[in-house]
Chains A and B, each alone.
Chain A
Amino acid sequence: MTPDFTFCTVQYDSGDWDSAPLVPANLIDSVARYTAITVAPTGVIVPLSSRDLFKYPLAYLTGHLPVRFSDLERRTLREYCARGGMLFVDDHNHDIDGVFHKTATEEIGRAVAPLKELPNSDPLYGSFFRFDDGPPATSHELNGWGDNLVHKQLMAVKTNDRISVLYSSKDYSSEWGFHPDNKRFLSIDNTKFGVNIVVYALTR
């Protein structure tokens, strides 16, 4: 049986695309734990310049370093979003003055469209678990690391009223970067918002 969902990490030529290697396994575990969605037990890594990206309508991109897409990567991302794919980008620096944020937002603007603030009433926040106050804060925000801000909203590019690029400055890559077995030590599972992103991508 073909799984409903396969976690896809995007590999791009510049920067450190593999800075959060534990996130895929953790989110795969959460999707399997909370939902009946059939999920592939392991994720895949797909170059942004590859046509294979189109096999995975939800893809995850992160990093700390400057992001500079090649022309082919830019074209591929533009087409990916136009066809209905959704790219989730997370700033692993949690720093809006950092190089990843500045370059990644610029590249997204060039490749797809400028990012805009996503209202906290968006269906994303109620697609499975309810987040009435918008995106959940991360421990990195609350501890004053990075830009020392608690970002109240995520940013997004929408195509036909559907999110095609979701951008986070909250550093979920650090928040979710632990072995799934360690969820048992958490009073509240902080990966639940990741499940919302997956469910949103499968239903909107």
Chain B
Amino acid sequence: MPLRADATRQTIERVLRVAALGLVAFGLWRSLQPADSRTAIRIDSADLTAALPSLMLTSPRAIHVNFGTSPRPVDRDALLALSHAGTQVTWSSTSLQPLALASERLREPGGAVRITVAAVAPVELADEMAIIDSVVPTKNGSTVIAAEPSDTLRATEGRTVATVESGVAPLLHPVLVLGRASFEAKFIMAALEERGWVVDARLTVAPGANVTQGKLTALDTGHFSAVVALDTSLGVAGPQLARYVASGGGLVLLGDAASAAVVRALAPAHVGARTQGTTRDIPAKTPLDGLPLQALETLRTDAVRLGARAGKVTLAARREGAGRVLQVGYNETWRWRMQGGDDAVAAHRAWWSRLVASVAYAAEWPSAVGTSTSSDGTSAEGAPLARLYDAFGPAAAPSTVSTSSGGLPAWLLPLICMVLIAEWASRRLRGVR
């Protein structure tokens, strides 16, 4: 009577014999299949555009592209389509350098664009009209502000070219200034208007008497992009500020405005005691040092500190609903414009415009980051090398293109041998020939 263990091993051996026979049958079937007649192609990027229509029709087995310049996005996308259809696509390049270009329309009047570049070598920035600037790469990327560039921006690093669309200027509404009549009100309004903002104002002169500018319609994001609160005299608009900010509006709180009961819950910090500037005059290079300051104290946990002077927080911001609140500790910033250095007027103007822009609600704010499509659908590509990696993986040497045209898989024969050896060994170990 056979042992129970021998019966098990006999079952295993039968399975192995059937598996070996199955694998042999699979090999015979594969060898009888017709061979893939498709070809493997190597091509330079300069010829790619012309060759792609015929390649799309013939659908070759493999394509290797040597990129001498940045590919056109449509060409890259066509290669990607071939890859998805079964063509093995590989690429190599000795010319393309890492380069990334992004642009962002500022929420300021005038259509200025912030251009950010990351590269490993000097880059030339241009639009469709002329060269804008040249940028030396830094560890964290470089930023250039361009006033009203044309639609397409281009960065060139050697033979690598990245392009993005500058985007459409955002739709900005007026800024509303609230507070007491003061030189601070006058000069903030002047600075913003001189930078192209439309400014409406409600300034308190006496109890029940206000100086107004503009239509002063409903306080919502359909009418105002931002509100600047100069002090605690917020008038009838004060109780509406929380709802306005929650719906996306921007709020700048200056000086002790954050102490007003109606906005205290929105403010990033408490208002500290007023101290004089650290310098007697307004220094030309560091004008903010000469301004009186109400330091921002006890920042809320969700507030972001944006500026400091001598260890005291001067600027902080936080989000409230869909809007943003910026708190400014400096007082009497008009002194910067009147008593500062030669560039004080322009600097004060730009500083205030940036503060308001940082919180302003813009009805449309398209941005061109990474890749976008230009008007002709062919040129916008913010990071050409990265897009190649994303589409086809790392660069490969041309020899890695598989020349196999079908036939038996390489794993088949070793697997058949292993199955047969296992079956033979099992039989021999239990003493059967």
Contact = CB atoms under 8 A, between A and B. Distances in A.
A163 B169 CA distance: 32
B206 A204 contact: no
B344 A83 contact: yes
Contacts of A121: none
A202 B182 contact: yes
A201 to B, nearest CB: 7
B338 A35 contact: no
A162 B186 CA distance: 10
Contact of B209 (A55, A128, A162, A204): A128
Contacts, number: 77
Nearest to A37: B181
A84 B267 CA distance: 31
Interface stretch (B14-22, B187-195, B388-396): B187-195
Interface stretch (B80-88, B146-154, B197-205, B314-322): B197-205
Nearest to A1: B274
Given A51-B339, A203-B211, A4 B187 contact: no
A55 B335 contact: yes
B252 interface: no
Contacts of A203: 181, 185-186, 189, 201, 203, 205, 211, 213
B235 to A, nearest CB: 13
The residue in B180, B183, B187, B213 that gathers the most chain A C-beta atoms within 10 A of its C-beta is B183
B345 A36 contact: no
A84 B190 CA distance: 8
B186 A202 contact: yes
B34 interface: no
B345 A82 contact: yes
A34 interface: yes
A199 interface: yes
A54 B338 contact: yes
Contact of B183 (A36, A57, A162): A57
B337 A83 contact: yes
10 contacts: A5-B183, A35-B181, A35-B205, A57-B187, A84-B187, A85-B338, A202-B203, A203-B189, A203-B201, A203-B205
Interface of B: 180-183, 185-187, 189-190, 193-194, 201, 203-207, 209, 211, 213, 292, 332, 334-335, 337-339, 344-345
The 10 A-B residue pairs with the shortest CB-CB distance, nearest first, are A202-B181, A54-B338, A35-B206, A203-B211, A4-B182, A54-B339, A36-B206, A203-B181, A35-B205, A203-B203
